Amino acid sequence: MSRKTVAGVPGKDPTLPSVAIELQGNTYHLAYDFNAICAYEDHVGENLLIAFEPDQLTSKKLRALLWAGLLKENPDLTLQQAGALFAFPDMGRVTEAVAKALTASRPEATSPNDTGEAVKS
């Protein structure tokens, strides 16, 4: 079985979905691979899935979500630098882009067929 080589850059990696967002006149790509999810969870101390519950999203969590999503393309980016990329009026756009990128990163759902095996769509 041959191994697939991945570039590691969202624009060049067809296996890694990303969502473009413009911040301060620059285009960035949000991508949530396993390392980004773990970086968020390490920093915030909670499961990433809890972040988007309607009454749970805070400014700190949004900043951490943006930071984690930008790490693939900008591995040296600090949390403070990510926070400096947007201001209060941008929160809606950032929240929407993060939500789209997180949704795009989820694997396709599978369901069992009558033999008990997973059926992939």
How high is the pLDDT of residue 86? 96
Q: Are 103 and 40 in contact (CB under 8 A)?
A: no
Q: Are 65 and 105 in contact (CB under 8 A)?
A: no
Determine the distance from the C-alpha atom of residue 5 to the mean position of all C-alpha atoms in its chain, rounded to a whole number: 21
Tell which wins on pLDDT, 33 or 12. Answer: 33
For the chain, the domains span 33-105
Determine the distance from the C-alpha atom of residue 91 to the mean position of all C-alpha atoms in its chain, rounded to a whole number: 16
Question: Is residue 120 over pLDDT 70?
Answer: no
Give the span between the Cα atoms of 90 and 63, in whole angstroms. 11
Q: What is the mean pLDDT of the chain?
A: 82
pTM: 0.78
